[in-house]
Amino acid sequence: MERGEIYQSAVVAGHFTVPVILVTGDEAACRGARATLGEDLPTVAVKKGISREAAVLLAAEDTRVLLREGARKAIRELPHRKPYRIKLPVRLRI
């Protein structure tokens, strides 16, 4: 199964007992993060990917507002977030 950067970062953070509390990025990244780390994970989509190298971005002020709201929600929900732990060892193929 292929895994991306968010998963890899969550595994490293989880190893050190640090929970993922907020993910920001494009819509696909947020969707993938919730699918892997839980549908209740706070996410903020600040852009919509339209190709591998292009995206439609929100205006800076709109992004700022959404990020603030997302951060507030993440802090409120912090007591309920648990580190993402996987069964070790794992086998990697690059």
Q: What is the pTM of this model?
A: 0.86
The CA-atom distances, in angstroms, between 14 and each of 6, 45, 47, 76, 86 are: 12, 23, 27, 20, 8
What confidence tens digit (pLDDT) does each residue in 33-89 have? Answer: 999 999 999 999 999 999 989 999 999 999 999 999 999 999 999 999 999 999 988
The pair of three-digit structure tokens given for residue 51, joined into one six-digit string: 């190709």
Is the pLDDT score of 92 beyond 90?
no
Q: What is the CA radius of gyration of the chain?
A: 14
Task: Identify the structural domains of the chain with CATH numbers, from first to last.
Answer: 5-80 (3.40.50.10780)
Cis peptide before 42 (omega within 30 of 0): no
